[in-house]
Amino acid sequence: MRDGLLVADVHGHVNPVNGLGPKALASRFRDSGGWLYGLVNLLSWSVDLRVGEAGDFEALYRIYVGAAEEMRSEGLRVSLILGPHPAEAVRLLERGFGIEETLDVMMGAYELAASYVRRGLAQGLGEAGRPHWRVDPKVMELCNEVMGHAISLAADLDVPVHLHLDPFEEALMVVRRYARRADASKIVIHHARGRIVGLAARMGFTPSVPAKISELLSVRRWWGSIVVESDFLDDPRRPGAVVAPWSIRRTFLRLIRRGEMSLENALGILVERPSRLYGIEPPSPGGP
Ligand SMILES: [Zn+2]
């Protein structure tokens, strides 16, 4: 890209079974200026798997290790984030699993994800966290415990952990408690919006803001602390549900042309901070 504006999408998905797939997504994103994709596994049932014990997540993780490789072969840097989403716990409970049983499956699935990081097959954990819809307090407690475990595993491995939270200060306070206990420093608050962005930044977390003009303008005070994400689902049945990764560059160019954002701000959000977060060097300007 001649103006040097390369794009990191810190949190997005791909559906290798029912979607566009890794190759098509990667080449389209790369052609739009994309250099780095934080690839997070989808839910087990999104790729037609059924899990009943921690070991069953092996199949899900293997699919994503393969997807990350395919995306890299298109010339993209990929940081692979593995772990069960809190909705997996809710689904297990709905299927009749007890609280303890569900906790075992979720904790074991994070241990397994950590073993992928140790073997160099993945680069982060998540998305862990709390349902953003109303659930029984016992379920919330379970989700907190799983999140705390994911945070401490990520701290030990010194890799980022992506957290999916309900949009309240209380959720961030819970995260801060776990983060302090584990001495965790790479906490990504996924889908951070509005007031949560500043609160998270002040606590030393990395707010990942949806890459939309309105969302970005509403948090301009925090442009020196944020990264952005598409949270692309790669679900052909819900094309408009999220931001497309290949639209991010256009969004930033628009903000820069309108004089709303400086190129320096954009480079911080799209290149420097993601590079530091994932420990991946950006391609040199003018290079491939
Ligand atoms: Zn997501």
pLDDT digits 0-9 by tens, 228-263: 999 999 988 876 667 999 999 999 999 999 999 999
CA of 262 to the centre of ligand 1 (A): 28
Asked whether residue 111 is assigned to any structural domain, the reply reads yes
Quick one: pLDDT at residue 255? 98
Residue 3: which pLDDT band, with cuts at 50, 70 and 90? Answer: low
Asked whether residue 284 is assigned to any structural domain, the reply reads no
Asked whether residue 268 is assigned to any structural domain, the reply reads yes
- Backbone φ, ψ for residue 187 (5° rounding): -105, 115
Quick one: pLDDT at residue 284? 79
Quick one: pLDDT at residue 241? 65
Mean pLDDT of all residues in the chain?
A: 95
Three-state SS at 87 = helix
Residue tagged 């930044």 (tokens): 201
Asked whether residue 70 is assigned to any structural domain, the reply reads yes
Q: What's the pTM?
A: 0.96
Task: Summarize the chain as % helix, strand, coil (round to 5).
Answer: 50, 15, 35
Asked whether residue 1 is assigned to any structural domain, the reply reads no
Residue 286: which pLDDT band, with cuts at 50, 70 and 90? Answer: low
CA of 286 to the centre of ligand 1 (A): 31
For residues 40 and 86, the answer to whether their CB atoms sit within 8 Å is no
Tokens representing 187 are 């906490």
Q: State the DSSP string of 122-167.
A: -SEEEEEE--SS---HHHHHHHHHHHHHHHHHHHHHT--EEEE--S
pLDDT digits 0-9 by tens, 5-30: 999 999 999 999 999 999 999 999 99
- The residue type of 126 is G
CA of 162 to the centre of ligand 1 (A): 9
User: Where residue 104 sits, what CATH number does that domain have?
Assistant: 3.20.20.140
Asked whether residue 151 is assigned to any structural domain, the reply reads yes
For residues 76 and 25, the answer to whether their CB atoms sit within 8 Å is no
CA of 229 to the centre of ligand 1 (A): 9
pLDDT digits 0-9 by tens, 179-230: 999 999 999 999 999 999 999 999 999 999 999 999 999 999 999 999 999 9
Q: How far is the CA of 125 from the CAs of 9, 42, 181, 198, in angstroms?
A: 16, 13, 18, 23
Number of separate domains in the chain: 1
Asked whether residue 283 is assigned to any structural domain, the reply reads no
CA of 55 to the centre of ligand 1 (A): 22
Asked whether residue 288 is assigned to any structural domain, the reply reads no
CA of 40 to the centre of ligand 1 (A): 7
Range of the domain at 119: 7-278
